[in-house]
């Protein structure tokens, strides 16, 4: 079956602009996660959704970052007033239930100029 | 807080050589341990896992044993192939109420030459 997909695969934007990153999880997976991977680092947890609600957003770096999952499937990560330090690969993962194996998408590479 | 430390790369080996990538962790309680692999141009994939002390995870010729006494989960393979060239990430997931959040190491780049 289809895996986790993310769009766009690459996004270049200017400092101060707003961006949206989309994640389509595996069908039927109730849990969805966002991670951020900076150059030379491992992925770092941002937020976890169980269904439509954000069960844990403790990894979001500040209030410029926000994520939604209105229908319990597709999720959008939104970044306001982007800064150069936001440049990274943003990874989405999903799992059937929260303690089960997480399947990762290919990521969106964000570059803020 | 929880953390995972991996040996620094890059690691370069010849085909059929023996591979070890060291991984140690710091966490309270009894975390589950994972190795993920990222092949060039692809997303992270689960390679193997172990959920309790002395468990051995294995897949595709790779093995790792959960050693609670040394807080380690070293990845090994007896004979690497060119197709094993990738970045390898060690990760942990705590139990209980936080049994969803993965904490990753920085990754180790492995290059296998023919």
Residues in chain A: 113
pLDDT of A81 reads 97
In tens, the pLDDT along A58-113 reads 999 999 999 999 999 999 999 999 999 999 999 999 999 887 889 999 999 999 99
Q: How far is B98 from chain A (nearest CA, A)?
A: 9
pLDDT of A40 reads 87
Triad B91, A50, A33: Cα angle to 5°:
35
CB contact under 8 A, A99 and B99: yes
Residue of chain A with shortest Cα separation from B9: A40
Q: How would you write the pLDDT of chain B (114 residues) with one tens digit per residue? A: 889 999 888 999 999 999 999 999 999 888 999 999 999 888 899 999 999 999 999 999 999 999 999 999 999 999 999 999 999 999 999 877 777 899 999 999 999 999
| C-beta neighbour count of A70 within 10 angstroms | 9
pLDDT of A93 reads 96
CB contact under 8 A, B89 and A42: yes
A23 contact partners, CB below 8 Å, separation of at least 6: A4, A5, A6, A32, A34, A74, A75, A76, A77, A92, A94, A105
CB contact under 8 A, A105 and B43: yes
Q: How far is B27 from chain A (nearest CA, A)?
A: 16
pLDDT of A5 reads 95
How many beta-carbon pairs under 8 angstroms link A with B? 55
Above 70 in pLDDT, residue A1?
A: no
CB contact under 8 A, A43 and B42: no
Which residue(s) pair with A86 in the sheet?
Answer: none
* Mean pLDDT (whole number) for A31-40: 95
pLDDT of B96 reads 73
Give chain A positions within 8 Å (CB) of B99. Answer: 98-99
């Amino acid at each position: 079956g289809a895996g986790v997909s993310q769009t766009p695969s690459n996004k270049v934007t200017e400092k101060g602009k707003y961006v949206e990153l989309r994640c389509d999880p595996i069908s039927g997976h109730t849990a969805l996660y966002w991670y951020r991977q900076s150059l030379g680092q491992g992925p770092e947890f941002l937020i976890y959704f169980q269904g439509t609600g954000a069960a844990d957003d403790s990894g979001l770096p500040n209030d410029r970052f926000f994520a939604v999952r209105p229908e319990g499937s597709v999720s959008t990560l939104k970044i306001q007033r982007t800064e150069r330090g936001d440049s990274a690969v943003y990874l989405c993962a999903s799992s059937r239930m929260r303690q089960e194996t997480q399947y990762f998408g290919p990521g969106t590479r964000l570059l803020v100029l | 807080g929880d953390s995972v430390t991996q040996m620094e790369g890059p690691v370069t080996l010849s085909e059929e050589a023996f591979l070890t990538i060291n991984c140690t962790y710091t966490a309270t309680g009894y975390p589950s341990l994972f190795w993920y692999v990222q092949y060039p141009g692809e997303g992270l994939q689960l390679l193997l896992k172990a959920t309790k002390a002395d468990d051995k995870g294995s897949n595709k010729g790779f093995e790792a044993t959960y050693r609670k006494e040394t807080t380690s989960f070293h990845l090994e393979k007896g004979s690497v192939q060119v197709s094993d060239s990738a970045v390898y990430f060690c990760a942990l997931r705590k139990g209980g109420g936080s049994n969803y959040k993965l904490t990753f190491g920085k990754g180790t780049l492995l290059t296998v030459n023919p």
